[in-house]
Amino acid sequence: MTKTFHLSLLRACNEKCIFCAKAGYPQREIPINECLDMLKQKRREGFGFLYFDGGEPTLRKDLSAICAGALRLGYRRITINTNATLLGDGKFITALSRLPGAKKNILFCVSLHSHKPAVSDRLTGFKGSLGKTLAGLARIKEAGFTFSIYHLITAYNYRDLPGFSRFAADNYPQMLDVNFSFIFPSGSALENKDIYPEISRVAPYFDKAVALLVERNINVNLISCGLVPLCMLKGLEKLFINSYEAENASNSQVADSEKTEDFPFHSSDEILNRKIKPAKCSSCVVTQICGGLWHIYADRYGLAEIKPFRRVPPGAKRTGAEKIMATPEDKLQNILVSVYKARLYGAQRFVFSPGVRKRADFFAVTNFARSLLGIRKNQKRKPPRK
């Protein structure tokens, strides 16, 4: 799997987005020579995918030069996370289009949190934000760049989720995917607790939104910083799997102007310490791969929405075995997610590679697999019916 590097080019976001994650980050721009040195080092370490973010990358006047350097270094996919409000004049898009290999290797992930002007203004904090973002999207689309849409689910827009999906599918059928996210409790989001919607209320709207996009052959993702307990994603558990595989700490790193670290959202102690699980989660068969709910959410809505899994949905009805591969360096949680994925896709038996069987935590792996298959310890599995 290709390793991914997230580089925060700018932390001095000048926008008043009420969910902007400003807290705890350096407020300075990384000089271009430092950016390029860091990118060069990460290429030597085997990183091939690159994300530019933090807070709004297009505020940098030298962004096209940084992109040119990344292309020369051989990054195969460069994603610019942006609200696109500064792209409407076409100048940056034109400059980017002239770079060799740009349209093949550079993608945009555009934050579009509502298709309604009033809701967009409320979320972004400035009037006319929707029109500016759509103008920037138009330039990206006209230039022939690949792009995705990022949509944050909030108390102000969740009822519009099906309508938003329809708007996105009708106007941007060529987009790569739609990336949804629940709210990560950081920065201004900590001061705007009203922005957090009750997930059980969101669920029916979210289900319809995802179904509409899938019906239109548009890929759907759930961003890892917005992951919620699996019992709140019933029927959509594969979104959790896809997110984990794309952004787990084994193949992703993130850097700002002061430090580089593993991508935090799945296994970081700092993140897990900000979450809570009730005692009833101990009986859930997937508790080992679920982080629980954010404290800030639990303080507001409680923990009654959590409903432990007694068994995992069998998925595709398929007999036979799934081989689970691993190396000594793999984190236990990564292996457990691989087992869970195989079960969701219908595996009825598991065969473990020598790399898994030799691990000191192999007992934990087999216990997890037994739970998913509904087999108790020391109970032999009945052969499948012929």
In a domain, 100, yes or no: yes
In a domain, 125, yes or no: yes
Q: Can you tell me the distance from the alpha carbon of 372 to that of 339, in angstroms, rounded to the nearest whole number?
A: 9
Selected residue with higher pLDDT from 334 and 134: 134
In a domain, 57, yes or no: yes
In a domain, 328, yes or no: no
Q: How confident is the model at residue 8 (pLDDT cuts 50, 70, 90)?
A: confident
pLDDT digits (tens, 9 = 90+) for 133-157: 999 999 999 999 999 999 999 999 9
Indicate which CATH number applies to the domain containing 236. 3.20.20.70
In a domain, 345, yes or no: no
Q: Can you tell me the distance from the alpha carbon of 281 to that of 176, in angstroms, rounded to the nearest whole number?
A: 36
* Beta strands at 77-82 and 47-53: parallel, antiparallel or unpaired: parallel
3-state secondary structure of 151: strand
pLDDT digits (tens, 9 = 90+) for 305-315: 999 998 877 66
Q: Which domain holds residue 145?
A: 3-272
For the chain, list the strands marked E by DSSP: 3-8, 47-53, 77-82, 106-111, 146-152, 177-181, 219-222, 252-255, 260-262, 275-276, 293-294, 321-324, 349-352
Domain count, the chain: 1
Asked whether residue 213 carries a pLDDT value surpassing 50, the answer given is yes
3-state secondary structure of 13: coil
Range of weakest confidence among 54-68, 276-290, 322-336? 322-336
In a domain, 287, yes or no: no
Indicate the residue type of 233: L
Q: How confident is the model at residue 24 (pLDDT cuts 50, 70, 90)?
A: very low
Asked whether residue 289 carries a pLDDT value surpassing 80, the answer given is yes
In a domain, 67, yes or no: yes
Q: How confident is the model at residue 6 (pLDDT cuts 50, 70, 90)?
A: confident
